[in-house]
Amino acid sequence: MRHTLTVLILIIFISGAAGHEKTGITKVKMLNAAEWVAVGYDGLFLKTTNAGTNWESRTIADGVYNLWDVAFFNSNTGIVAGVSDGYETYMGRTTDGGHTWSRLSFASSMWVTPMSFANDRVGFLYGFGSGMSSSIYKTTNGGLDWFRTNSYLMPYSVKSIFPLDSNNVYAGLSGGYIIYTSNGGNNWVFFDTERPEDITDVYFINQTTGVYCSSYESDKEKKNGDDDNGWYLNFGKTTNKGQSWNVRWIQESDNYAMKYSGNSFYIIGDYNRILKTSDFGQNWDYNYYDVPVTASPYSMDIVGNTILVGGYGYNKSLLIKSTNGGVNWTSMSVPRPYYTISGIVKYSDNGQLITEGIVKAFKYDRNTGNINVFDSTEIQWNGSYILTHIPHDTVYIGVYPNSQPVRDWVVTYYPSTPYWTQTITLYPTGNLPNINIYAKRIYFTNAANSINGKVMKLNPVQTGLKDAVVNIMNGNNYVGCAITDNSGVFHGTSLPSGNLKVVVDRVGYKGDSVMVSVTPSSNIDSVNFVLNRYVIGIRQIEGLVPLNSNLYQNYPNPFNPVTKIKFDLTSTAVLQGSGNIYTILKIYSITGKEIGTLLNKNLSPGTYEVDFDGSALPSGVYFYKLVYGNFVSTKKMLLVK
């Protein structure tokens, strides 16, 4: 039987874009005819369930990372891969359709794309990072764990990966090379296409027949006698597993992505022309792209006759679709991933304008205990501020003085409280004006008294706690304020004499206070605090009463530095003993030494999850032990730094 092969090429011209910051979409993925997802710069994640009529926008990993790849195995489960501007690696996993994401353990400081899966278990990923490593990694459990295949590719880089199945995998490299494995990555064979350009995409129809696409810069005079330089697009075909290639020059263009659907190939690149061929590029039909293009196309996916294209540029995004195989196109608006929050900052006692200082929008990371700042801005001369980089997420707003130690007003959270548990958090779905903040005034003195100390955290060992706010009060008046440094140290100076109350408050932790008697010319040291994580560190994830108590294996494992410990608590009626039954969760070293207590409280029956932060511990084997009435269970976990 003879099969007709149609190749359609989208070549889209982009003029110079104004602006300075790249935004937009780097990868699109169609799960089916209606469910599509896309990822992009600044942690952008988009999802539609109605073929692009409406898009839901979310920000992954606090917007710190640019996401370059996404894979979904069904409507709920998927993973993303990306890097920060400083090349810190991020890999995340969702099991609820993209609403929430958990971070996966992977090598840090590594570029991670392209990524491609043969099925919902086996996938391949290119990693390039520190030490000039360049290798293809493999997962056999849907992206939870990755290991390096027998591929050491320096000085070449991987531009595309195509798994025909879990064993037969092709990859396009820089320098015109294609590599192939028939055993899932245990061994790789190099094929030279005898072309100098990068193999930007490779696709195999079956075991023997495949194509690749590449672009290269050359002299146009070689083609038409012109003296200008330009980019050219090549299309290669093999019928012997890549051992030899028949290469055809297609068009003046730079290639970005190629997809195969039915008997058709689709290729996107520069210029707003659509080229179509049914004979591997021997003859071409020309059409034109019929909607305005504002950003460079970069990624494409196809289901049936529907084509989805995404792209990025300088302050521009591209999201377009065709439902008739590329004849006509529709532009879709990219939901704004960031909003603005604006308002006025005043003193709480008399409404006087505050004309200097900093307003921050941030979120507490319950995995690491860190405060992640989304955006910050200076207060203007008229007391106004505007934050422009606010994601569609829960946000804390706080106003911070410029001076350290603080002299004018204490750190105050919206709308007017020095305590983070009393603040009103915001969840913007649009721009939020009139978010006015009323800061608490400091009644400053020139006395020579001081109070100094350290704030530490207990999870599970004592270490310094950064960004804790230490307020010092004389009666109902604030007389001092300090913020702890990286080691948890604070200094409260120029304090009056008397019985002063030292109050420590840190987002994500339970606050504490102590009374200190200050005499004239006194310098009081070692006013120390040890704070415990707030209830936010433990989450009840299921309210149904389990039939049995159970302690699960931590996830991820191995981990660095944060892992989750999940457990079930059955009804107390089936436990021996009477009265309140406390749930105790402790960490031990491999020698049996108790490291710390994560949990010791009375919990109702249900399923819970606790975060364990091992950042203060060395690499090694540790044990965690759950005690609940007469139920006792211990499991092993591995910390690898």
Report the pLDDT value the prediction gives residue 268, as an integer from 0 to 100: 79
Strand partners, 505: 469
Residue 543 confidence (pLDDT)? 56
The CA-atom distances, in angstroms, between 364 and each of 265, 357, 425, 508 are 46, 22, 11, 6
Rounded distance between C-alpha atoms, residue 113 and residue 323, angstroms:
28
Q: Kindly indicate the confidence band of residue 301, based on its pLDDT and cuts at 50, 70 and 90.
A: very high
The model's pLDDT over 108-135, given as tens digits with 9 standing for 90+, comes to: 667 888 999 999 999 999 988 755 578 9
For the 449-531 domain, the top CATH level (class) is mainly beta
321 or 392, higher pLDDT: 321
- Predicted local distance difference test score (pLDDT) of residue 313: 77
Among 508, 48, 12, 517, residue whose Cα is nearest residue 255 = 12
**pLDDT band with cut points at 50, 70 and 90 for residue 624:** very high
Query: Where in the chain are all domains bearing CATH 2.130.10.10?
Result: 6-331
Percent of the chain with pLDDT over 70: 81
Fold (topology level) of 537-639: Immunoglobulin-like (2.60.40)
Q: Which residue has the higher pLDDT, 407 or 114?
A: 114
Residue 8 has pLDDT above 80, yes or no: no
- Min mean pLDDT across 169-173, 253-257, 349-353, 576-580 is at 576-580
CB-count exposure of residue 194 (10 Å: 0-12, 13-18, 19+)? exposed
Is residue 225 predicted with pLDDT exceeding 50? no
Per-residue pLDDT tens for 566-618? 998 887 644 444 455 778 898 888 888 877 778 877 777 888 888 887 766 78
Average pLDDT over residues 347-351: 95
Is residue 13 scored above 50 in pLDDT?
no
Q: Where do you find CATH 2.60.40.1930 in the chain?
A: 537-639
| pLDDT tops 90 at residue 480 | yes
Averaged pLDDT for residues 297-319: 86
Predicted pLDDT at 221: 36
Ranges for all domains in the chain classified under CATH 2.60.40.1120: 338-439
**CA distances (Å), 133 to each of 85, 114, 148, 450, in order?**
19, 15, 11, 52
Cα 475 to Cα 402: distance, rounded to the nearest angstrom = 25
For residue 117, the model assigns a pLDDT of: 96
CA dihedral for 206, 177, 113, 41, sign (positive or negative): negative
Average pLDDT value over all residues in the chain: 83
- Per-residue pLDDT averaged across 202-218, rounded? 85
Q: List every span in the chain annotated with CATH 2.60.40.10.
A: 449-531
The residue among 146, 83, 154, 82 whose CA lies nearest residue 117 is 146
* Residue 311 pLDDT: 86
Structure tokens given for 576 = 């021996």
Residue 152 in tokens: 């050491």
Asked if residue 381 lies in contact with residue 406, where contact means CB atoms within 8 angstroms, the answer is no
Using the structure block, give the residue that is written with the tokens 């422009």.
Answer: 388
Phi, psi dihedral angles at 535 (to 5 degrees): -60, -15
Question: Residue 168 pLDDT > 80, yes or no?
Answer: yes
| Cα(639)–Cα(179) distance, integer angstroms | 35
Task: Collect contacts of 258-261 with beta carbons under 8 A, ≥24 apart.
Answer: 258/200, 258/201, 258/203, 258/211, 258/213, 258/300, 259/203, 259/300, 259/301, 259/302, 259/307, 260/203, 260/205, 260/302, 261/302, 261/303, 261/304
429 DSSP β-pair partners? none
SS3 21: coil
On the question of pLDDT at 501 being above 90, the answer is: yes
Q: Using the predicted structure, report yes or no on whether residue 18 has a pLDDT greater than 80.
A: no
Which tokens hold the place of 477? 């008046």
Domain 338-439 has CATH 3.10.580.10: no
CATH fold group of domain 6-331: Methylamine Dehydrogenase; Chain H (2.130.10)
Q: Distance (Å, rounded) from C-alpha 569 to C-alpha 482?
A: 42
Cβ atoms 312, 40 nearer than 8 A: yes
What pLDDT shows up at residue 570? 84
pLDDT single digits (tens) 443-471: 988 888 999 999 998 766 678 999 999 99
Per-residue pLDDT at 283: 67
For residues 30 and 300, is the Cβ–Cβ distance under 8 A?
A: no
